[in-house]
Amino acid sequence: MDNWVKKIRKRTNLVAGTIVFLIIVFVAVFAPYLAPTHPWDDADLMISELPPSGEYLFGTDSKGRDILSRVIYGSRISLSVGVISQLINSVIGIVFGLTAGYFGRLWDDIVVAVANIMLSIPSLIFALAVMALLGPGLINVFIALGLTNWAYTCRITRSQVLGTKNQNYVKAAKAMGFGRCRVMFLHILPNIFGPILVMASLGMADAILMEASLSFLGLGTQPPVPSWGGMLAGAREQLFTAPWLSIFPGLAIFITVLGLNLLGDGLRDLLDPHMSETK
C-alpha cells in the first residue's frame, strides 16, 4: 500500500487530474447548493450583460441570468455526458474486443473490419449524422456519443486479450471446466482492465468536447437548460462587447478536459509496467 502511495505522489499529472475531476464531480453533485441563483428561472432583463462584479462573480448574460450559476449547472450536463456516453462506449468495445480476441477466426475479422471503418470516420461527423437522424436532445446525445468511440476501446481490449488468453491462469480456468463467458469476463477482463480504464478517462474528455460542439451547433442540450457549449453558442454575437459570456464556459471546458487528460496520462504511467520501470 505504501508503495502505491509513493508511486501516486511521484506523478503530479495523476494527482492534478484527480483533484480537478473530483472538484468537477463535487460541483455537479452539489450544484443546487453552490449556485447563487436558479440558472434559468431567475432572469431579469434589468441586469442583463453586467460585467463580473462582487454581486455577480461571472457577470450576467443577455437575459439577466447569473453566468456562475449556469456554469455550475452546466457541469452536470458535461459530467453526465462524459460518464454515460463513455460507459456505453466501454460496454460495446469491451464485449466486441473480448469476443473477437478470444474466439478469433471469422468473428475477429468482422469486428476488426467494422472497428476500422468506425475509426476511418471522423467522430464529430459520425455524431452529427446520428443526431441528424435522432434529432436534438440530451438523450440523443448520449446515444450518438455512445456509438461513436467504441472502436478505440475495442482495439485496446482485443490486443490485450490476444496477449493474455494463452497465459497459464486462463488455461487452468479452461481445464477446470469453466464456461467461455466466465473465462472472458471473470478471468481475462480483470487482468486487462488497466488500459481500458485509461482509455475510459481519455474518452470522457473527448465526449465532453463533442457534447460542447453539438450544443454549440444547436443539436445538444436545448435551452433553457444550461450547457457549456450552448452558452458559447449564445455568446457568439457578444464576443467583443461582453467577452465574459464566452470566457467562463470556455474556461470550464478547458479545465475539465485538461484535468481528464492529465488523469488519463497519470493512470497510464501508473498502470503501465514499462512506464513504471523508467520512472
User: What range does the domain containing 206 cover?
Assistant: 69-278
- Evaluate whether residue 192 is within a structural domain: yes
Q: Give the Cα-Cα-Cα angle 228, 251, 87 (nearest 5 degrees).
A: 55
Spans in the chain with pLDDT lower than 50: 276-279
Q: What is the pLDDT of residue 278?
A: 47
First to last CA, the chain: 18
Number of domains in the chain: 1
- Evaluate whether residue 16 is within a structural domain: no
Q: What is the pLDDT of residue 277?
A: 47
- Evaluate whether residue 23 is within a structural domain: no
Q: What is the pLDDT of residue 242?
A: 85
- Evaluate whether residue 51 is within a structural domain: no
- Evaluate whether residue 134 is within a structural domain: yes
Q: What is the pLDDT of residue 3?
A: 60
108-142 confidence digits (pLDDT tens):
999 999 999 998 988 888 888 888 888 888 888 88
* HSE of 173, CA atoms in CB hemisphere, 13 A: 18
- Evaluate whether residue 62 is within a structural domain: no
- Evaluate whether residue 27 is within a structural domain: no
CATH number at 255 reads 1.10.3720.10
Q: What is the pLDDT of residue 5?
A: 59
- Evaluate whether residue 270 is within a structural domain: yes
